[in-house]
Structures are given as C-alpha cells and as structure tokens.
Amino acid sequence: MSINVSEQEKKALYHLMEERHSVKQYQPDYKISRAELEEMLQAATTAPSAWNLQHWRFLVIEDQKKKEELLPIAYYQQQIVDASFVIAVLGDVEANKEAEGIYQEAVEEGFMSEEIKDTLVGQINGAYERGGSFARDAAFLNASLAAMQFMLAAKAMDYDTCPIGGFKREEFIDQFHVPDRFTPIMLMTVGKAAKEAYPSSRKALENVVTYNSF
Ligand SMILES: Cc1cc2nc3c(=O)[nH]c(=O)nc-3n(C[C@H](O)[C@H](O)[C@H](O)COP(=O)(O)O)c2cc1C
C-alpha cells in the first residue's frame, strides 16, 4: 500500500542511514531517559520477522555497576562504561513457542481462521523440531533486523550507537543469567557522542551486487 513518502521524508531516511556510524566515545555523564530509550526499543520492534515470531529480546544494562561487570567480558572496550545504556540483543532459539499466542491474536482479531492458524503453528513447530542450526540461524537473522532499526531510531533522536560483536558470549550468559532460551546476538552501546565515529568506507555497488545468478 502506498504511503506517499515525500521527497523530504525519503531524504531524511537516507540521511539517517548515511550518518549512522559506530561511535566509540560517549559523554559519560549524559543520561538518556528511560522514555527515550523505550521509544527506540518500540521502533526496533516494528522490524519484520519470520512468521512474525519476533525473535528479539533486549537486555538493557543501565546500572553503572552492571556496565563495569560487562567491561572485561567485552574486552575492556571503554564505550561499555561511558554509554548511557548497553543493550544486549538476544535471539529466541525457541521462538516457535510464541506462535500459538501470536496467531491466536490474529484469529481473535479476525485476520486469520482457526484452521490456518493450526496449519501454520504445525509448520513452525516442525521447522524448529527438525533441529540443526535452524533455530540459532533464525534467532541471529531476525534479532539483527530489530537491532538495525534500533540504531536508526537512536540516530533519528540524535544519539549514537555501536554494535559490538567483540564479547565473550559464554561469560556474558553466566554473568547476566541469560536463560537457555536466548542466545546473545550483539551488544549495542547507545549514548551521546563525545567524539565522531572513525570514518568508514563502503565497497562500490558493482562489487557487492550480482544480478540473476553467479
Ligand atoms: C556485528 C558487528 C560487530 C561489531 N563489533 C564491534 C566491536 O566489537 N567493537 C567495535 O568497536 N565496533 C564493532 N562493530 C562496528 C564496526 O566496526 C563498524 O560497523 C564498521 O567498521 C563500519 O563502520 P560504521 O558502523 O561506523 O559505518 C561491529 C559491527 C557489527 C555489525
């Protein structure tokens, strides 16, 4: 359905995408409010997900003491303690358990019949029960989409972020009591920049796009 995006709105979106960079130095005394953070999280949760299972979970690390516990786990990256918040983006490896509830809602709202719901829930459970890397791959794929939206929403509110893959996953799970159901995908720092991000370049389109077939 067309939403009639104006040229100005399109430019604003592209501007955000171009201007988002990974900021690694934050103003340590700057505190983003809980309300603003929740606005970003809300925007993140509009991301698409396979079967609409919404595989993301966000562990918000806001206490200074907790950030300090995280510091060695994230290889002493100073941004961990200087950022207003660190968001641990987790992925649900048992997201099929959400299917019944999500589709029941659709049935009640009249978007879906009971029969279609049962078929879909059966298919979803089947995919998860087959095992292999499916559940973990789905958790990484879908939660990452929400993480990207979070970073753009933060930029739209004049804050900066940095996605962080450099942390010890097992230690993180132990220290922050992450239930087995969730796997850590990435950390994201969010705060008020103290220094611009390091410049980064991108490959030319011709080096990253192939049409039709390799
Ligand atoms: C999955 C992922 C993991 C990353 N891990 C780290 C990290 O551990 N520490 C860090 O400083 N930056 C990290 N980055 C940021 C990248 O270095 C950065 O996105 C890249 O150099 C491009 O720069 P830009 O984001 O400023 O455009 C990570 C980015 C991604 C997407």
Instruction: Identify the helix (H) or strand (E) that includes residue 41.
Output: helix 34-44
Is 90 exceeded by the pLDDT of residue 1?
no
Question: Is residue 152 domain-resident?
Answer: yes
Q: pLDDT grade, residue 114 (50/70/90)?
A: very high
- Reported as a single tens digit per residue, the pLDDT across 6-64 is 999 999 999 999 999 999 999 999 999 999 999 999 999 999 999 999 999 999 999 99
Please report, for the domain that includes residue 79, its CATH number: 3.40.109.10
Pocket (CB within 6 angstroms of ligand 1): 21-22, 24, 77, 162-166, 186, 197, 200
For the CA of 21, the closest atom of ligand 1 is 26
Question: Is residue 79 domain-resident?
Answer: yes
Sign (positive/negative) of CA torsion 28, 163, 35, 81?
Answer: negative
Residue 97 DSSP class: G
Question: Is residue 33 domain-resident?
Answer: yes
- Reported as a single tens digit per residue, the pLDDT across 144-193 is 999 999 999 999 999 999 999 999 999 999 999 999 999 999 999 999 99
* C-alpha of residue 78 to centroid of ligand 1, in Å: 14
Question: Is residue 204 domain-resident?
Answer: no
Question: Is residue 117 domain-resident?
Answer: no
Question: Is residue 102 domain-resident?
Answer: no
Residues 28, 194: Cα–Cα separation, whole Å? 8
- Reported as a single tens digit per residue, the pLDDT across 64-109 is 999 999 999 999 999 999 999 999 999 999 999 999 999 999 999 9
Could you tell me the two tokens for 84? 């207003």
* C-alpha of residue 138 to centroid of ligand 1, in Å: 21
Number of Cα atoms under 13 Å in the Cβ half of residue 2: 3
Residue 197 DSSP class: P
Question: Is residue 67 domain-resident?
Answer: yes
Q: How many domains does the chain have?
A: 1
* E-only strand ranges, the chain: 56-61, 85-92, 160-164, 182-191
Going by C-beta distance under 8 Å and a sequence separation of 6 or more, which residues neighbour residue 74? 80, 164, 166, 167, 168, 187
Mean pLDDT of the chain: 97
Question: Is residue 212 domain-resident?
Answer: no
Per-residue pLDDT at 43: 98
Per-residue pLDDT at 11: 98
Domain containing 160: what range?
22-92+137-192
The CA distances from residue 176 to 18, 64, 166, 173, 189, in Å, are 34, 14, 16, 6, 17
Residues 190, 7: Cα–Cα separation, whole Å? 29
